[in-house]
Amino acid sequence: MTTNPEKRKNLLIGNWKMYKTVAEARKFAEELGMKSGVLLESCEYGICAPFTTLHVLRVMLPALVKMGAQNVYFEAEGAYTGEISAPMLAEIGTHFVLVGHSERRTVFAESDTWIQKKVHAVVEQKMVPVLCVGESLAERESGKTAAKVAQQVQNGLALLTAQQVAHSVIAYEPIWAIGSGKTASFQDAEEVASGIRGGLSEQYGSAIANCVRILYGGSVKPENIASFVQQSNIDGALVGGASLEASSFAQMAEAIGGESV
Ligand code: PGA
């Protein structure tokens, strides 16, 4: 079933994780600038990078590539040593904020309650949350994928109004596919994305559900990105390893551009 894909711009987001110094980020921005001919107004692009590099990326990335963060704390300010708030990110021109990445959920024990507060803090500052969801291998093998993902989506968006949901992005990233070189098949990814959109439609109505961008993530690279983005419920990709080189980011941008027309 096609759900109005023409209304949703394809979106490519790089997740640099804990890679790149300021000097390396500057080099990436310069190299991507030289390839900016592949970037299209009809698509959207972002790089979610370490906090220390955000300012330089804001200044140096090509105009069509938006700067994003990988985490945020939900309080606006206070005695929270080591944390960064949503107003702080908004002030420096942050556009996207990843929330609930599986590495945050597993390595840093982030709960659904924290994640929903973070998503809310991000939208209150008019930034775009990228809510990451996905099942473990054990959950997939025991047939629990759809239920797990539905629960993460519902909890993650629980504090938003329907309008705020419409402007949010959901990244479906099976945990077993992240950084492993294994991807979900595009059919499996589409099945989960379609389930996510169906759940949104039940809860918020189809007009809202059809606005939400759903990305696939997990070992996406230039060679396989198009097969995901061709699916009717998948509107782009969240990419770790293959987003670290400007040339590979540009190749993926080119691949999703071909799918948008
Ligand atoms: P990967 O990471 O592309 O390196 O698998 C994806 C992610 O963690 O967002």
Distance 136 CA to ligand 1 centre (A): 14
Q: What is the pairing mode between strands 10-15 and 43-48?
A: parallel
Residue 5 has pLDDT above 80, yes or no: no
Which ligand 1 atom sits closest to the C-alpha of 102?
8
Q: What is the pLDDT of residues 212-226, one digit of tens each?
A: 999 999 999 999 999
Residue among 13, 15, 108 whose CB has most ligand 1 atoms within 8 A, to mutate:
15
Average pLDDT over residues 227-232: 96
Beta strands in the chain (DSSP E): 10-15, 43-48, 65-69, 96-99, 128-133, 169-172, 213-217, 236-239
Which residues lie below 8 Å from residue 240, measured CB to CB, with a gap of 6+? Answer: 14, 15, 16, 17, 178, 179, 217
pLDDT value at residue 7: 67
Region class of 43: left (phi > 0), else alpha (psi between -120 and 50), else beta: beta
Average pLDDT over residues 7-24: 96
Residue 260 has pLDDT above 60, yes or no: no
**DSSP assignments along 98-161, one per residue:** EES-HHHHHHS---HHHHHHHHHHHHHTT-EEEEEE---HHHHHTT-HHHHHHHHHHHHTTTS-
The protein residue with its alpha carbon nearest to ligand 1, atom 1, reads 240
Distance 118 CA to ligand 1 centre (A): 21
DSSP state of 168: -
Average pLDDT over residues 156-182: 95
Q: What is the pLDDT of residues 142-166, one digit of tens each?
A: 999 999 999 999 999 999 999 999 9
The protein residue with its alpha carbon nearest to ligand 1, atom 7, reads 240
Of residues 181 and 123, the one with the higher pLDDT is 123
DSSP state of 37: G
Which residues lie below 8 Å from residue 177, measured CB to CB, with a gap of 6+? Answer: 134, 183, 184, 217, 218, 219
Distance 78 CA to ligand 1 centre (A): 32
68 close to 97: Cβ distance less than 8 angstroms: yes
Q: Which residues line ligand 1 (CB under 6 A)?
A: 15, 173, 178-179, 217-220, 238-242
Residue among 18, 216, 219 whose CB has most ligand 1 atoms within 8 A, to mutate:
219
Residue 35 has pLDDT above 60, yes or no: yes
253 close to 243: Cβ distance less than 8 angstroms: no
Active site residues: 101, 173
Residue 253 has pLDDT above 80, yes or no: yes
Residue 258 has pLDDT above 90, yes or no: no
- Tokens matching residue 168: 């949010």
Counting every residue, how long is the chain? Answer: 261
Q: Which of 70, 71, 1, 61 is CA-nearest to residue 33?
A: 61
Residue 2 has pLDDT above 80, yes or no: no
pLDDT value at residue 181: 86
Question: Residue 169: is it exposed, middle or buried by C-beta count within 10 angstroms (0-12/13-18/19+)?
Answer: buried
Average pLDDT, the chain: 95
Residue 210 has pLDDT above 70, yes or no: yes
